[in-house]
Chain A
Amino acid sequence: MLAFIVRRIITTIPVMAFVALFVFSLLYIAPGDPAAVIAGDQASPADVERIRASLGLDRPYLVRFAEWSFRVLQGDLGTSIFTSLPVTQLIAQRIEPTLSLMVLTLIFAVTIAVPMGVIAAWKAGSWIDRGAMAFAVFGFSVPVFVVGYLLAYVFALQLDWVPVQGYTPLSQGFWPWFKNLILPAVTLGLVYIALIARITRATMLEVLQQDYVRTAQAKGVGQREVLFLHALKNAAVPIVTIIGIGIALLIGGAVVTESVFAIPGLGRLTVDAILRRDYPVIQGVVLMFSLVYVLVNLLIDLTYTLVDPRIRY
């Protein structure tokens, strides 16, 4: 078990190394000369050259990559060109709204999607099943911002149940925080629900044909127990896997959802950074999101042993 954990952690190293190389190359090949920007309009070519040397920008690609990686490992993601603040500080300021949004979406989506998939598989072919799967196709097809504006128009503008836009920190109470986040979470969760419900249904269909399910039914175990204890437990591995892979959808969707609902999170930071061509910030955000994504999936791999004791490494 320990050997597996160590081995699995080691396999993430080349993956993260590639991501780091990609992200570094982004700044390396980005248009614009940082030395010239820092030197200003009045500088002579000699001045620019001197600044370039003092920043170490004249050294070879791999040397600079090594130095940059070393700094990143120490938690230094560089300085934003636009705000002159450290990128880590900018990310730290924006992390709470995004984390709140994602965790809320995750909880909301899983509690809806898994029972939906289970019931769809149980009643396969019925109108419930058809309805659930039609919903899944719609979930995949209607883009995030369309859902967002639609929900905001109906529930915030017309019905006035929740605030239209904005974010209230959790420190100001659970209810205001929740009220501001519920529409964005539903918006962001739709694709995710579609994805998880589909996989849950497909896996459950397979599991429900197993002999032990028939045995459980034959000995008079209640339908709910058969579905959620006997069957779902054995369908857990693919479902948990897709929940992990789907985090990529959440990250991409958060960028849009935060724009629609004016949430000051990492997604907005990314959009602002793109518009201002603030490459260090773009680098930092991509690196951080990818790290989170890789770590979540690493954790999920490790939880397989808990979900399914048959998996031994």
Chain B
Amino acid sequence: MQTSLPAPSALAAAAEPGIKPTLGRLTRFRRYLRRHPSVLIGGSLLALMALIGLLAPLLWTVDPTAIATSRRTRVPSELYWFGTDMLGRDIYSRVVYGARVSLVVGFSVAILSSVIGLSIGLFAGFVRWADGIVMRIIDGMMSIPPILLAIALMALTRGSIQNVIIAITVAEIPRVARLVRGVVLSLREQPYVEAAIANGARTPRIIFRHILPNTFAPMSVQATYICASAMIIEAILSFIGAGIPPATPSWGNIMAEGRALWQVKPHIILFPAIFLSITVLAVNLLGDGLRDSLDPRLAKAL
């Protein structure tokens, strides 16, 4: 768990042009990437997608919601790179803008469910009387398949990005909470934590100084998997019509619109499908690489 990880700090330093990273750090980062190529490949692909989403208006796109009935369901051509859909909207522009939705949902869910799950897991791991109750609730929530749980929550609300994020986050929290609780329970038995307790350290100090830092490694791996799963669930929700409102271009929505015509115009579904698959693959590769590099023992177990 205590393996030194130069990646985040070096990454942050490299990303900010103002700060020049020391040569040692950069070399170490390079060596890290060479040893874990899936981090490099996954990270680069993900960065590329983020860039596409960020720079969407500059990437020769037109208004992704502009309807033009005169150019419906065109096949890909020089003018419409990915063709047009049933309402004549440019699929290339919609797919490029769709990257924003997937990435925003993926990252928001990963961060939110990590933070909330971490708090619940720490609480359950430390407050012994509450552990039983919290774990029963978590068992109950985990016995509802996540997609079904998200669907049920979406049925209560109107389709919007915020609601999709909330619904998926609620569905993902139990997994994080359970993971963190397990880590906390095993860490509590560690001699250094017992020594700190014997020294009279207060609970907050033990949590923040001794427990929390050790949850980061498994948490960051878990967060990438949650990000990937959130992107897929978002696409599924949108695909069945219970997710992002249809006007907003999201990969799930584009595929949902292409559904009726897929036998004659498969390109409408093909392009968002490729983008979604590549993005999820990138996140999964990143997660696998992080897992292998952070904890070799975990690498075998998962």
Contacts and interface: CB of A to CB of B under 8 A. Distances in A.
B145 to A, nearest CB: 4
B124 interface: no
A273 B152 CA distance: 10
B239 A22 contact: no
Interface stretch (B9-17, B114-122, B195-203, B280-288): B280-288
A255 B151 contact: yes
Contacts of B259: 259
Given A19-B143, A145-B236, A202 B302 contact: yes
B284 A140 contact: yes
Contacts of A164: 263
B156 A252 contact: no
Given A255-B236, A271-B241, A146 B152 contact: no
Interface stretch (B53-61, B183-191, B269-277): B269-277
B263 A157 contact: yes
A185 interface: no
B24 interface: no
Interface string B172-213: 000000000000000000000000000000000000000000
A130 to B, nearest CB: 12
B140 A14 contact: yes
A285 B149 CA distance: 11
Interface string A218-248: 0000000000000000000000000000011
B241 A26 contact: no
A260 B220 CA distance: 34
A144 interface: yes
Given A18-B136, A19-B140, A286 B148 contact: yes
A143 B276 contact: yes
B155 A279 contact: yes
B247 to A, nearest CB: 17
A258 B154 CA distance: 19
Interface in A13-46: 14-19, 22-23, 26, 29-31
B152 A26 contact: yes
A141 B228 contact: yes
Interface string A2-16: 000000000000111
Interface string A71-100: 000000000000000000000000000000
A270 B263 CA distance: 24
Contacts of B302: 198, 202
A186 interface: no
Contacts of A23: 152
A256 B234 CA distance: 12
Given A26-B152, A143-B236, A146-B273, A290 B143 contact: yes
A251 B143 CA distance: 11
Interface string B130-153: 000000110111011111110110
A141 B284 contact: yes
Contact of A206 (B147, B148, B300): B300
A149 interface: yes
A198 to B, nearest CB: 8
B151 A144 contact: no
Contact of A14 (B136, B235, B262, B266): B136
B136 A205 contact: no
Nearest to B232: A143
A288 to B, nearest CB: 10
A16 B140 CA distance: 7
A271 B242 CA distance: 8
Contacts of A248: 145-146
B240 interface: yes
Contact of B300 (A18, A202, A253): A202
A55 interface: no
B301 interface: yes
B152 A255 contact: no
A290 B277 contact: no
A135 interface: no
A30 B155 CA distance: 8
B46 interface: no
Interface of A: 14-19, 22-23, 26, 29-31, 137-138, 140-146, 149-150, 153, 157, 164, 198, 202, 205-206, 247-249, 251-253, 255-256, 259, 270-271, 273-275, 277, 279, 282, 285-286, 289-290, 293-294, 297
**10 tightest A-B CB contacts, nearest first:** A18-B140, A252-B147, A141-B281, A248-B145, A146-B273, A251-B145, A141-B280, A271-B240, A274-B242, A142-B277
Given A14-B140, A26-B155, A259-B240, 14 more contacts: A15-B140, A31-B156, A140-B280, A142-B280, A143-B236, A146-B276, A149-B262, A271-B241, A274-B154, A274-B241, A275-B242, A279-B155, A282-B151, A286-B149
